[in-house]
Amino acid sequence: MAVYNFNAGPAVLPKSVMLKAQEEFVDYRGCGYGIIEESHRAKPFEEVIQAAEANFRSLLNISDDYAVLFLQGGASLQFAMVPMNLAIPGKKIGFCDTGEWSHKAIKEAKILGNEIDMIYDGSADKFSHIDGIANWKFDKNLAYAHICSNNTIYGSQYLIYPNTGDVPLIADMSSDFMSRPFDINKFGLVFAGAQKNIGPAGATVVIMRKDLAARCPSTVPTMLRYTTHIDQGSLFNTPSTFGIYMIRLVTDWLVGLGGLPAIQAMNEAKAGKLYAAIDACKFYRGTVDKGSRSLMNVTFRIKEGDEDLEKKFVAEAKAAGLIGLKGHRAVGGLRASIYNAMPAEGIDALVEFMNAFAKANG
């Protein structure tokens, strides 16, 4: 039986990438040992990290004004590193609150003593949409403004990005990074834990304007300074070598598909099919309004939140080879995470299962 993995992260990776990694695992390209066993200072790994960076630079058209960094500590460490490095004494930090992941970032900024300017607060509508983005106003005195481009838990996504003028825009792109094209020049810094869309857990990609790194006060420890990693090409200490190797293979795969416009078209087709199945019957209800729905995390409920039926759905889906469909514990309900690597067949199998389940339990 085919198994389709709808987990939110760590998540599905492209089958061809998994097979390639398997093929190379014990003998990396004739070395006689695996890349996982290689020194991070040796030639074979140097080639891996350079290829991974080159892939990001070509896929996103990144100029030399920006650094591409491979760090550790997950997106969660970036919630602290960003304010540690980019806050400016006496200036507020702008936040746009689209749910859970925004709150975690706000918490770290506050721990460090920063004042917050709440630009947008989606809590009144239970984060069921992201409204009026084009009209958001950013005070020009903000140190920077932070958004979460795709809320993995609520299933909401920015369809456009706000215009922050000269205020550097920072984006937590953990769950939709490399799923669609974006103009990196509109951002001061973007970060993403690899485990949602581009690789295994343990590596975090940061793309940032190099000039912003100079803001870092001298009290920030070496490992937590962006300048350290920019100056050392992400090799100040031992990075997540196998993680970076996998990211290289995944980005090779993206290049081979035709880049970000191609993967975006595939993602739109997959998500479109799934939302259509949800909207086609009263049995299911999408929890996010049209216009803010994520192409990556499709959140829905059964009969306005019948938890027993939702439990049954998750169990029967699992038995049918469709795993990871339980909603995040903070919000309940159901969630299908359909990242870049989810094959179209997985969506078809899920839609078929949903239709049969609605018929049997409706």
Ligand X SMILES: *Cc1c(COP(=O)(O)O)cnc(C)c1O
Are 123 and 146 in contact by the 8 Å Cβ rule? The answer is: no
For residues 126 to 165, the per-residue mask of contacts with ligand X, x marking binding by CB under 6 A and - elsewhere, is ----------------------x---x-------------
Q: Which of 6, 8, 167, 11 is nearest to 101 (CA)?
A: 8
Both tokens assigned to 155: 């299933």
E-state strands within 13-102: 66-71, 93-97
Report the alpha-carbon distance of residue 297 to residue 95 in Å, rounded. Answer: 22
If one asks whether residue 74 binds ligand X (CB under 6 A), the answer comes out as: yes
**The one among 6, 28, 56, 101 contacting ligand X by CB under 6 A:** 101
Both tokens assigned to 160: 């456009």
**The one among 146, 196, 270, 326 contacting ligand X by CB under 6 A:** 196
Region from 69-77, 214-222, 241-249, 346-354 binding ligand X, contact rule CB under 6 A: 69-77
Q: Which is nearer to ligand X, 4 or 79 (CB)?
A: 79
Region from 68-76, 81-89, 242-250, 340-348 binding ligand X, contact rule CB under 6 A: 68-76
* Segment holding 360, helix H or strand E: helix 344-361
Q: Which is nearer to ligand X, 128 or 197 (CB)?
A: 197
For residues 3 to 22, the per-residue mask of contacts with ligand X, x marking binding by CB under 6 A and - elsewhere, is ------x-------------
**The one among 85, 128, 156, 175 contacting ligand X by CB under 6 A:** 175
Region from 54-62, 118-126, 168-176, 220-228 binding ligand X, contact rule CB under 6 A: 168-176
Report the alpha-carbon distance of residue 66 to residue 175 in Å, rounded. Answer: 21
Residue 209 burial by Cβ neighbours in a 10 Å radius (0-12, 13-18, 19+)? middle
Report the alpha-carbon distance of residue 111 to residue 289 in Å, rounded. Answer: 33
Exposure on the CB side of residue 66, measured as CA atoms within 13 A: 24
Q: Which entry of 92, 97, 172, 326 is annotated as an active-site residue? A: 172
If one asks whether residue 28 binds ligand X (CB under 6 A), the answer comes out as: no
Q: Which entry of 92, 97, 196, 270 is annotated as an active-site residue? A: 196
Helical H segments across 185-257, by residue range: 226-231, 241-257
Residue 101: phi, psi to the nearest 5? Answer: -70, -25
Catalytic status, residue 136:
no
Catalytic status, residue 101:
yes
If one asks whether residue 299 binds ligand X (CB under 6 A), the answer comes out as: no
Region from 72-80, 263-271, 317-325, 350-358 binding ligand X, contact rule CB under 6 A: 72-80
Catalytic status, residue 253:
no
How are beta strands 169-172 and 284-286 bridged, if at all?
A: unpaired
Indicate which residues carry an active-site annotation: 101, 172, 196
Interface residues toward ligand X, by CB under 6 A: 9, 74-76, 101, 148, 152, 172, 174-175, 193, 196
